[in-house]
Every structure is written in structure tokens, then in C-alpha cells.
Amino acid sequence: MSEAEAATQAERKEIEDGLLIWRNSKSPFWQMRAYVPGTRRYVRQSLKTTDIHTAVVEARKRWMRLQVRVEDNLPVFEMRIEKACDLWLSEKEELAKKGAYKASVLRVAKGAIKRYLKSYFKGRPLSSIDHAEADRYWTWRLTNARRSAQPSKVTIGAELNTINQIIEWAEIKGHLKRAVVPRLKKPKALAKTKVNRRAAFMPQEMKTLFALLKLWQNEARNDRDRMVRTVLYYAVKLVYYSGMRTNDMPLLRWRDVKATWSDKDSHWYVQFFLRGKVEPRWVVVQHDAGPLLIEWRNICPHTEPDDLVFAYKKGEMPLLEQSFRNCLKRFDLWLNADGAPRSLYSLRHTAATEALDRGVPIEDLARNMRTSVQTIMDHYAHIANLDKASVLTYSQDKENFENIEPWIAHQSGRN
């Protein structure tokens, strides 16, 4: 039975053309039905009162506010979450094209919306989201995951962050009244879970890996394959010495590499300007990266300022991840002691682990690795000697650094 049919069988009062209040035996509260001009649609709301005089006054107030919104061309009907997702995505895609929104963040959000958020919320309105939503969403994700493994803390955090961004966008655009919908926090069940340790290499394994990468080059099938494996050899070492993320690699150009003199301790330091995933920043890399960069630059086919560091063709970086995985499998280094597979990203974890072992302060390490202190604590808190005082770099080979001077001169001349 529709509201109109119910109204004919119950108490009903037409206040003016297009505005009606009514109630029936199903609820003691008066209901309002107001026609929205130009839409052929009605706004239906509960007036939350049993007194007819109060109901009439409240209905007139809401009717007047509704007319003002129509005149000001503001949204009248509550937006569905699914539509809000689509509009938010469209806006962010345009911003990403202009470089005003991070493509990596957009890619994660787009995947979350497509795979999970639309399926979970379906046709619900934005105002239906409440404080318990995060826990309900977590329970739903456990039973509807695309993979058998439990969604990680980071994954759920990213998905909830996307929801929060959409809520904030809806408020700014006037689709939702501010403070009506709460921001979602990580569910209690997930907040208590331990973060799995990341697969890394042991120090002796790194020495073995460097030697095997040289051998891997000699086993190349042709010149192209040999060049790819040569790029891999230098890339593995430089990722390890810098702790960069894998999505920093295809963005690193020769102009993003520099040597800087420190008056504080009278040393040269090599720095990379990294711009993948998070805010771009100059980071300090290990001293051993200096001689390696000179060595690689001498054989790299393209070394202009705008050329990619890890390239084997002009503007083209090879698929190093697959090549690295093949190498690890070939020499039985793919799995760590716990059976977890390793990847190029494991080099970043190895760099972080060794830095903490040397006593690098967590705050300094987090800043140089462009991450948060909490992330360092979540993934590497098992390292015992976190409170040692040291520096980010640990070796200053004088003989090697004498060989860097020609490269520094070249850098200075270029700048």
C-alpha cells in the first residue's frame, strides 16, 4: 500500500497544494509528503511528532527549506552511495590528469570501489552509514573476499579511507549535511591483529644474491636478455642501498640523482629524488651507491638528465620484477625461511631491517624512507635494538669516494 493509499484510510491533512501530512495505525508519528517542482518526484519524511499542530508547523518549515534549495539549484534528494562513488571517481580522474591528485591513490580507490564498495553498499543512501559500519564492512569483507587470504590491515584501511573521502566530498558538494555521517575507523577486530613480518633477505643472502646476479647475466640467451639482466643487477643494488619502493623505480631519472657535500661532517652524500606513491622527497642513500652509479652510468645506453636510470631502451624500463623472480627461483632464493615469497619490494624491507639493526633512530629512518613511524613499528618492531643512536649511512670508503669526484664534477657542470 502506498503512502497516498494509506493516507486515504487514515488521518490526513492537505496543508497546501503539493504539501500533505498524514498518519495511520502503523506509526503514531505524522508523515510529510512534499512535491518537488520540475522533478515529478516527492520528498517523504517523518515529522517525528504526534501533535498535529506541531506537525503542521514543522511541515511548513521543511516545505520552505525545500523550495529554497530548488530555487538555488541545490540537491534535494539524498544521494545514493553508488552514485556518490561514480561522481567522486570522475572528479578525481580529472584532477589526476592535471597532476592534482595522485594516480597511485586513485588506482587503489578505483579498484576498491569496483570490487567491494558498490557490492557492499548497493542502493543505500549516504546517511545510512553509522559508527558501526566499519565493523559490519569488515565482517562482510571476510566472507566476500576475492582471494582466500584474509584482507590485510593496510587494505581495509585504504578502503575505509576511500569511503571517508567520498563522505567528505558529499558534504562539500552539498549532497550531505555536515556531521550527519561519521568518519569510519578501523574495526576493533582488525586493530588488534598483528601485522605480518615482511619477507626480506638475510645479510649473507644479500652477498650471495649479488654474486648470483652476475652469474645470471652470463646465462642470458641473447643480447636483449643480457641487457635486461644487467639493468636488473644495478637496479637490485640501488634499490637495496636506497630502500626505495618499486613504484619509485620507473620514475627515477638521471636528473633525480645528485651528490651533496655536507659541511657538518665533511662528507659527500648521494641523494635520490623519489616521487612514487607518497609526497616526492630527496632521500639519502648508502655510500656504496656512489661507485655503483658511476659504473652503471658508464655502460647505460641513455644518460641524459631526463633519461630513466633503469632503462635499456630510450624511455623504456624492462619488466624487472619478473626477471628478478626468475632469478630467485633459478637459485632457490625465492622463498624465505617462513615460506613467504620474495620480490623486489623485499629489498626495501631488507634495507629497513638492516638500518634498524645498525641502530638508526626510527624517526630518521621513517623520514628517509618516506613512510610513517607507525608503519616502521608495525612491520619491524621485532628488531630488538631499536634505540641505538647512529646515522643513516654507515660506511665512508675513501678510496671509492675519490672515484666519485669526476661524476660530481659532471653533475655540477650539468646543473
The predicted-structure confidence for 185-241, as pLDDT tens digits, reads as follows 877 766 655 555 678 899 999 999 999 999 999 888 999 999 999 999 999 999 999
Quickly list H helices, 72-117. 81-97, 103-112
**Number of compact structural domains in the chain:** 3
Residues 58 and 87 in one domain: no
Burial class for 171, CB neighbours closer than 10 Å (0-12, 13-18, 19+): middle
Residues 248 and 151 in one domain: no
Residues 237 and 177 in one domain: no
Residues 293 and 224 in one domain: yes
Residues 373 and 263 in one domain: yes
Q: If DSSP codes are grouped into helix, strand and coil, which group holds residue 15?
A: strand
- Average pLDDT, rounded, for the chain: 83
Dihedral sign (CA 108, 110, 115, 120):
positive
Residues 403 and 341 in one domain: yes
**What share of the chain has pLDDT > 90, as a percent?**
41
Residues 121 and 187 in one domain: yes
Q: What Cα–Cα distance (Å) separates residue 306 from each residue in 25, 56, 81, 212? A: 75, 70, 43, 31
Q: What is the pLDDT of residues 287-323, one digit of tens each?
A: 999 999 999 999 998 999 999 999 888 878 888 999 9
**In Å, how far from its chain's centre is CA 122?**
24
Residue showing cell 544521494: 79
Which pLDDT value is given to residue 387? 46
Confidence of residue 8 (pLDDT cuts 50, 70, 90): very low
Among 71, 90, 124, identify where a domain stops: 71
- The more confident residue out of 45 and 383 is 45
Residue 175, domain extent: 81-191
Which of 245, 219, 241 minimizes the C-alpha distance to 230? 219
Residues 186 and 228 in one domain: no
Position 389 pLDDT exceeds 50: no
Q: Is residue 29 part of a domain?
A: yes
Position 246 pLDDT exceeds 80: yes
CB contact set of 279 (below 8 Å; sequence gap of 6+): 370
